[in-house]
Amino acid sequence: MILELEKNITTDKKQVIFSRLFEQNLGFKEIYFGNKNIVYLTTNKHVSGLDRLEGVSKILSSFKHEFKLASREFQEINTVVDVDGVKIGGEKLVMIAGPCAVESLERTMTIAKKVQDLGVEILRGGAFKPRTSPYSFQGLQEKGLEILAEVKAKTGLKIITEVIDTETIGLVGEVADVFQIGSRNMQNFSLLKKIGRTQKPVLLKRGLAATLEELLLSAEYLLGEGNKNVILCERGIRTFSNHTRNTLDLSIIPTIKEVSHLPIIVDPSHATGKRNQIYDMSLASFAAGSDGIIVEVHNNPSEALSDGFQAILPEEFAKIVEDSKIIAKIRKRYF
């Protein structure tokens, strides 16, 4: 159950509500959600009579799914996440591009300038890399963050970079405009809760084999701590199909739009693992209603320290940007 409190509710009235919940042994949490003051129960119990309490303006008790704060029942209008002026989930589509990993200042700057010239406003690049093999390049880590900070200062690009554990949230947060939570961490609930306590936008990538409900329940952990700036990301899932690295599940987009108010973007790079499919899957993503794409772009893919096989050149990315504009029109979107 979710209780929406009146805008100017007095402390006394709030105390009455809280005591009432305490008396009934109901776990609950108070959060500020945008301009809404919310109290939600941390159980699935249904309690009657709460609507009679003074100071409660609205009660939501019937949800089609287990996720509540992420649901359309809770919020009918789409959430638009504001990344320091760059809006995600509105009419304008978002293009995020950059290398898989930050490799050097020079290379990151070169790629950043090239994608910026193509209209990109958010640069991707991992400093802390969660690699399947411990023998693979793990990212430049702190040094990588310093490079991102310098590129950000020189170009004005916003930065999205992955945070892989709770210890480095502060460090990563100093440079990141968007925290990326990788697929492997989608169900790292302590990480989700700590990120939820910040107000920083977060890109939550779908787990390697997560269902739509599991993805939205992970989003619920972020929202439940009061961070309403959640962007979902479809990046392909493990299936028996092995012609691509993962299977891009584009039908998740219309389904998410139906059941949730959160924006969703697509990562065609990790979904396909094939640079010759990035164009097709990017256009398909926009056709399916995606709010944006996040693409691995590198100026010299054969020398990339990670995921070079799926990186495309800036010139190839330019064609995606151009042709996606045509698809965008059909969906009444633009960039």
Beta partners for residue 284, in sequence order = none
Closest separation in Å from C-beta 186 to ligand PEP: 8
Residue 103 or residue 162: which is nearer to ligand PEP going by CB?
Answer: 162
Answer with the entry of Mn ion, ligand PEP, none that 182 interacts with (C-beta below 5 to 8 A by kind).
ligand PEP
100 part of the interface to ligand PEP, by CB under 6 A: yes
Contacts of residue 119, Cβ cutoff 8 Å, sequence gap at least 6 = 95, 321, 335
Closest separation in Å from C-beta 197 to ligand PEP: 22
Answer with the entry of Mn ion, ligand PEP, none that 183 interacts with (C-beta below 5 to 8 A by kind).
ligand PEP
Beta partners for residue 313, in sequence order = none
Among positions 15-44, residues that touch ligand PEP (CB under 6 A) are: none
301 part of the interface to ligand PEP, by CB under 6 A: no
Residue 38 or residue 111: which is nearer to ligand PEP going by CB?
Answer: 111
| DSSP 3-state of 239 | coil
Enclosing H/E stretch for 189: helix 189-196
Q: Are 178 and 162 in contact (CB under 8 A)?
A: no
Closest separation in Å from C-beta 320 to ligand PEP: 17
Residue 184 or residue 319: which is nearer to ligand PEP going by CB?
Answer: 184
Answer with the entry of Mn ion, ligand PEP, none that 308 interacts with (C-beta below 5 to 8 A by kind).
none
The Cα 74–Cα 232 span in angstroms is: 17
Burial (CB < 10 A; 0-12, 13-18, 19+), residue 284, is: middle
| DSSP 3-state of 4 | strand
Q: Helices then strands (H, E): number in the chain?
A: 10, 14
Residue 69 or residue 312: which is nearer to ligand PEP going by CB?
Answer: 312
Residue ranges binding Mn ion (CB under 5 A): 100, 307
71 part of the interface to ligand PEP, by CB under 6 A: no
DSSP string, 123-160: EE-BSS---SSTTS----THHHHHHHHHHHHHH--EEE
Among positions 251-270, residues that touch ligand PEP (CB under 6 A) are: 267, 270
Report residue 35 as tokens. Answer: 């301009």
Enclosing H/E stretch for 234: strand 230-234
Answer with the entry of Mn ion, ligand PEP, none that 234 interacts with (C-beta below 5 to 8 A by kind).
none
The Cα 59–Cα 54 span in angstroms is: 12
**Using CB under 6 A as the criterion, what x/- string covers residues 171-210 for binding ligand PEP?**
-----------xxx--------------------x-----
Residue nearest to ligand PEP (CB): 182
Answer with the entry of ligand PEP, Mn ion, none that 177 interacts with (C-beta below 5 to 8 A by kind).
none
Contacts of residue 230, Cβ cutoff 8 Å, sequence gap at least 6 = 70, 79, 81, 201, 202, 204, 219, 222, 223, 262
Among positions 143-172, residues that touch ligand PEP (CB under 6 A) are: 162
Residue 102 or residue 321: which is nearer to Mn ion going by CB?
Answer: 102
Answer with the entry of ligand PEP, Mn ion, none that 290 interacts with (C-beta below 5 to 8 A by kind).
none
* Binding positions for ligand PEP, rule: CB under 6 A: 100, 126, 130, 162, 182-184, 205, 235, 267, 270
